[in-house]
Protein backbone atom coordinates (compact mmCIF):
# COMPACT_ATOMS: atom_id res chain seq x y z
CA UNK A 1 0.00 0.00 0.00
CA UNK A 2 1.33 3.44 -0.93
CA UNK A 3 1.38 6.04 1.82
CA UNK A 4 -0.79 9.02 0.83
CA UNK A 5 0.84 12.42 0.51
CA UNK A 6 1.17 13.95 3.97
CA UNK A 7 0.24 17.53 4.77
CA UNK A 8 0.62 20.19 7.44
CA UNK A 9 -2.77 21.82 7.97
CA UNK A 10 -3.57 25.28 9.34
CA UNK A 11 -6.93 26.09 10.91
CA UNK A 12 -8.72 29.02 12.47
CA UNK A 13 -9.76 27.67 15.88
CA UNK A 14 -11.55 30.36 17.87
CA UNK A 15 -12.28 34.07 17.36
CA UNK A 16 -10.64 36.40 19.90
CA UNK A 17 -11.88 39.73 21.28
CA UNK A 18 -15.38 39.20 19.87
CA UNK A 19 -18.75 38.46 21.43
CA UNK A 20 -19.81 35.00 20.28
CA UNK A 21 -23.30 33.51 20.56
CA UNK A 22 -23.00 29.77 21.03
CA UNK A 23 -24.81 26.84 22.60
CA UNK A 24 -22.59 25.47 25.37
CA UNK A 25 -23.16 21.76 26.15
CA UNK A 26 -23.24 22.54 29.90
CA UNK A 27 -24.67 26.05 30.03
CA UNK A 28 -27.04 26.19 27.03
CA UNK A 29 -27.21 29.35 24.86
CA UNK A 30 -24.60 31.88 25.99
CA UNK A 31 -22.61 34.85 24.76
CA UNK A 32 -18.89 34.41 25.37
CA UNK A 33 -15.83 36.55 24.77
CA UNK A 34 -12.31 35.07 24.62
CA UNK A 35 -9.60 37.47 25.69
CA UNK A 36 -6.79 37.85 23.12
CA UNK A 37 -4.41 36.10 25.53
CA UNK A 38 -6.87 33.49 26.83
CA UNK A 39 -4.88 30.61 25.32
CA UNK A 40 -1.38 32.12 25.58
CA UNK A 41 -0.06 29.48 27.98
CA UNK A 42 -1.37 26.67 25.72
CA UNK A 43 0.75 27.95 22.82
CA UNK A 44 3.89 26.84 24.63
CA UNK A 45 2.65 23.26 24.71
CA UNK A 46 0.93 22.96 21.32
CA UNK A 47 2.09 19.34 20.91
CA UNK A 48 -0.18 18.37 23.84
CA UNK A 49 -3.26 19.53 21.94
CA UNK A 50 -4.98 16.61 20.23
CA UNK A 51 -6.80 16.54 16.90
CA UNK A 52 -9.96 14.47 17.34
CA UNK A 53 -12.92 13.44 15.24
CA UNK A 54 -16.23 14.74 16.66
CA UNK A 55 -14.76 15.39 20.16
CA UNK A 56 -14.37 11.63 20.71
CA UNK A 57 -11.33 10.88 22.92
CA UNK A 58 -11.13 7.42 21.35
CA UNK A 59 -10.71 8.90 17.85
CA UNK A 60 -7.44 10.83 18.06
CA UNK A 61 -6.33 11.61 14.51
CA UNK A 62 -3.23 13.74 15.08
CA UNK A 63 -1.48 16.45 17.10
CA UNK A 64 -0.97 20.18 16.85
CA UNK A 65 2.48 21.53 16.10
CA UNK A 66 1.93 25.27 16.68
CA UNK A 67 -0.67 27.60 18.17
CA UNK A 68 -0.54 31.36 17.74
CA UNK A 69 -2.70 34.44 17.81
CA UNK A 70 -3.14 36.12 14.44
CA UNK A 71 -5.35 39.19 14.46
CA UNK A 72 -8.87 38.17 15.47
CA UNK A 73 -8.20 34.40 15.61
CA UNK A 74 -6.29 31.72 17.44
CA UNK A 75 -4.61 29.72 14.66
CA UNK A 76 -3.16 26.23 14.87
CA UNK A 77 -1.14 23.96 12.63
CA UNK A 78 -1.38 20.19 12.91
CA UNK A 79 -0.42 16.92 11.27
CA UNK A 80 -2.37 13.68 11.17
CA UNK A 81 -1.18 10.24 12.26
CA UNK A 82 -1.45 7.67 9.46
CA UNK A 83 -0.76 4.87 11.94
CA UNK A 84 -4.31 5.17 13.32
CA UNK A 85 -7.74 4.52 11.83
CA UNK A 86 -8.96 8.01 12.89
CA UNK A 87 -5.92 9.48 11.12
CA UNK A 88 -6.90 7.77 7.87
CA UNK A 89 -10.51 8.94 8.29
CA UNK A 90 -9.29 12.48 8.99
CA UNK A 91 -7.14 12.43 5.85
CA UNK A 92 -10.25 11.75 3.78
CA UNK A 93 -12.20 14.58 5.45
CA UNK A 94 -9.57 17.31 5.75
CA UNK A 95 -9.30 20.05 3.16
CA UNK A 96 -9.59 23.83 3.24
CA UNK A 97 -13.09 24.66 4.48
CA UNK A 98 -13.45 21.63 6.79
CA UNK A 99 -15.17 22.85 10.00
CA UNK A 100 -13.19 22.71 13.27
CA UNK A 101 -14.55 22.90 16.83
CA UNK A 102 -12.55 23.22 20.05
CA UNK A 103 -12.64 21.54 23.45
CA UNK A 104 -11.19 23.62 26.29
CA UNK A 105 -10.90 23.82 30.05
CA UNK A 106 -12.09 27.08 31.62
CA UNK A 107 -9.82 28.62 34.27
CA UNK A 108 -10.88 32.23 34.64
CA UNK A 109 -14.41 33.27 33.65
CA UNK A 110 -16.01 36.51 34.75
CA UNK A 111 -18.78 38.83 33.61
CA UNK A 112 -17.60 41.22 30.88
CA UNK A 113 -17.43 44.77 32.22
CA UNK A 114 -20.29 46.88 30.90
CA UNK A 115 -21.80 43.91 29.01
CA UNK A 116 -24.31 42.07 31.21
CA UNK A 117 -24.82 38.45 30.21
CA UNK A 118 -21.48 38.16 28.38
CA UNK A 119 -19.05 35.60 29.80
CA UNK A 120 -15.46 36.87 29.56
CA UNK A 121 -13.14 33.88 29.17
CA UNK A 122 -9.87 35.40 30.35
CA UNK A 123 -7.89 32.17 30.73
CA UNK A 124 -8.52 28.75 29.23
CA UNK A 125 -6.54 25.67 28.18
CA UNK A 126 -7.08 24.30 24.69
CA UNK A 127 -7.38 20.53 25.17
CA UNK A 128 -8.36 19.47 21.68
CA UNK A 129 -9.74 20.58 18.36
CA UNK A 130 -12.06 18.35 16.39
CA UNK A 131 -13.03 17.75 12.81
CA UNK A 132 -16.81 18.22 12.85
CA UNK A 133 -19.71 18.64 10.46
CA UNK A 134 -20.58 22.09 11.81
CA UNK A 135 -18.30 24.45 13.75
CA UNK A 136 -19.54 26.26 16.88
CA UNK A 137 -17.84 29.47 15.70
CA UNK A 138 -18.49 30.83 12.23
CA UNK A 139 -15.24 30.73 10.24
CA UNK A 140 -13.54 28.10 12.44
CA UNK A 141 -12.16 25.85 9.73
CA UNK A 142 -9.11 24.52 7.94
CA UNK A 143 -7.71 27.39 5.89
CA UNK A 144 -4.51 25.94 4.34
CA UNK A 145 -2.63 22.73 3.78
CA UNK A 146 0.95 22.26 2.65
CA UNK A 147 2.54 19.01 1.46
CA UNK A 148 5.30 17.66 3.67
CA UNK A 149 8.32 17.07 1.47
CA UNK A 150 11.88 16.05 2.12
CA UNK A 151 14.08 19.15 1.88
CA UNK A 152 16.17 19.61 -1.23
CA UNK A 153 19.66 20.18 0.16
CA UNK A 154 20.72 22.30 -2.83
CA UNK A 155 17.61 24.48 -2.89
CA UNK A 156 17.44 27.94 -1.34
CA UNK A 157 16.40 28.13 2.29
CA UNK A 158 12.74 27.36 3.06
CA UNK A 159 10.64 28.12 6.14
CA UNK A 160 11.78 24.90 7.82
CA UNK A 161 15.38 26.16 7.74
CA UNK A 162 14.54 29.33 9.65
CA UNK A 163 14.23 29.60 13.45
CA UNK A 164 10.85 28.72 15.07
CA UNK A 165 8.29 31.48 14.64
CA UNK A 166 9.68 32.58 11.26
CA UNK A 167 7.12 33.26 8.53
CA UNK A 168 7.97 33.20 4.82
CA UNK A 169 5.49 35.09 2.59
CA UNK A 170 5.32 35.38 -1.18
CA UNK A 171 5.41 39.01 -2.31
CA UNK A 172 4.95 38.23 -6.00
CA UNK A 173 7.48 38.75 -8.78
CA UNK A 174 9.64 36.02 -7.25
CA UNK A 175 10.29 37.92 -3.99
CA UNK A 176 9.75 36.75 -0.40
CA UNK A 177 9.46 38.51 2.94
CA UNK A 178 10.98 36.73 5.92
CA UNK A 179 9.53 37.81 9.29
CA UNK A 180 9.04 36.63 12.85
CA UNK A 181 5.56 35.71 14.11
CA UNK A 182 5.26 39.08 15.91
CA UNK A 183 5.21 40.68 12.46
CA UNK A 184 8.51 42.52 12.18
CA UNK A 185 10.09 41.88 8.76
CA UNK A 186 13.63 40.57 8.90
CA UNK A 187 14.49 40.78 5.22
CA UNK A 188 13.21 40.56 1.69
CA UNK A 189 14.79 38.37 -0.94
CA UNK A 190 13.98 36.66 -4.25
CA UNK A 191 11.95 33.48 -3.91
CA UNK A 192 8.72 31.70 -4.68
CA UNK A 193 5.33 31.10 -3.07
CA UNK A 194 4.37 30.86 0.60
CA UNK A 195 6.58 28.23 2.19
CA UNK A 196 4.83 28.00 5.53
CA UNK A 197 5.19 28.74 9.19
CA UNK A 198 7.48 26.88 11.52
Strands 50-53 and 115-131: parallel
Is residue 4 within 8 A of residue 92, CB to CB? The reply is no
For residue 156, how many C-alpha atoms fall within 13 Å in the half-sphere facing its CB?
10
124-166 tens-digit pLDDT: 899 999 999 999 899 999 999 988 876 555 545 554 555 555 5
pLDDT band at 172 (very low <50, low <70, confident <90, very high): low
pLDDT band at 179 (very low <50, low <70, confident <90, very high): low
pLDDT band at 185 (very low <50, low <70, confident <90, very high): very low
The pLDDT value recorded for residue 109 is 77
Whether the predicted pLDDT of 6 surpasses 80: yes
Is residue 43 within 8 A of residue 76, CB to CB? The reply is no
What single-letter DSSP state applies at residue 93?
H
Closest CA to 73 of 11, 122, 166: 11
Is residue 147 within 8 A of residue 6, CB to CB? The reply is yes
Q: Quick check: pTM over 0.85?
A: no
Instruction: Return the domain boundaries, the chain.
Output: 7-147, 159-197
24-80 tens-digit pLDDT: 877 788 899 998 888 888 888 899 999 999 999 999 999 999 999 988 999 999 999
Cα–Cα distance for residue pair 111/81, rounded to 1 Å: 40
The pLDDT value recorded for residue 156 is 52
3-class DSSP state for residue 89?
helix
Amino acid sequence: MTTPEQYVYMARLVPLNQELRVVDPDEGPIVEYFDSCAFAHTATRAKDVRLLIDHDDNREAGRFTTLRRDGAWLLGTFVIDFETTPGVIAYDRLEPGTPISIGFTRHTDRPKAGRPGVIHRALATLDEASIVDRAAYKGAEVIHRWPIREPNRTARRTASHWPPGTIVRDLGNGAQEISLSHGAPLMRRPGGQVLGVR
